[in-house]
Amino acid sequence: MNLIPRSTTPRPVDTDLFEAFDRLHSRLLETFPAATEGTAGWMPALADLEETDDAFVINVEVPGFDRDDIKIEVMGRRLMVHAEREEEPREGTVRSSTRSRNHLHHEVTLPADADDEHIEASLDQGVLTVRMPKREGAGRKRIEIG
């Protein structure tokens, strides 16, 4: 049995395919109301964790949020970034949306050698940067195999 199609001519993409996917996605979510209850407008935040020689740096995208909308907390080795704002009034019916709206959340487990006493944070052009220096004496060690 040959599973490879004989024609290699690409077929045109049906532009209604995306609309059909959105309808299917909406219908699927309607079947699980408990799973989406209380999460309207909530989106996971897009973020990067970078390690430099002397610090850990987290960049979290928080588009449209002001400093007063953002809360940063450390609990044990967990760093949590939560952003929340009032919902903007909308005109008309939203048919599809992938934009973050009212809530963003990001959580990361900090490496043991992060110094949570000297964390610095800044906000620039919709990107929150959290910098955690490494503890004194922390760093990568190479172990030779004997």
Mean pLDDT value across the chain: 78
Q: Please report whether residue 62 resides in a domain.
A: yes
From the list 123, 16, 18, 131, the residue with the least C-alpha distance to 65 is: 123
- In the prediction, which pLDDT does 127 show? 96
Count of structural domains, the chain: 1
Sign of CA dihedral 60, 64, 66, 71: negative
Q: Please report whether residue 120 resides in a domain.
A: yes
- In the prediction, which pLDDT does 50 show? 92
Does the pLDDT at position 69 exceed 90?
A: yes
Instruction: For residues 62 and 67, give the distance between their C-alpha atoms in angstroms, rounded to a whole number.
Output: 10
Express each pLDDT in 86-124 by its tens digit: 877 888 887 777 666 688 889 998 887 888 889 999 999
Q: Please report whether residue 81 resides in a domain.
A: yes
- In the prediction, which pLDDT does 4 show? 58
Helix/strand/coil for 88: coil
Domain range enclosing 64 = 40-86+100-133
Q: What integer is the mean pLDDT of 54-59?
A: 92
Q: Please report whether residue 91 resides in a domain.
A: no
Q: Please report whether residue 110 resides in a domain.
A: yes
Residues near 49 by Cβ (< 8 Å), separated by ≥ 6? 56, 57, 58, 108
Q: Please report whether residue 126 resides in a domain.
A: yes
- In the prediction, which pLDDT does 45 show? 81
Q: Please report whether residue 29 resides in a domain.
A: no
- In the prediction, which pLDDT does 68 show? 95
Q: Count the Cβ atoms, other than its own, within 10 Å of residue 42.
A: 14
CATH number for the domain including 68? 2.60.40.790
Q: Please report whether residue 144 resides in a domain.
A: no
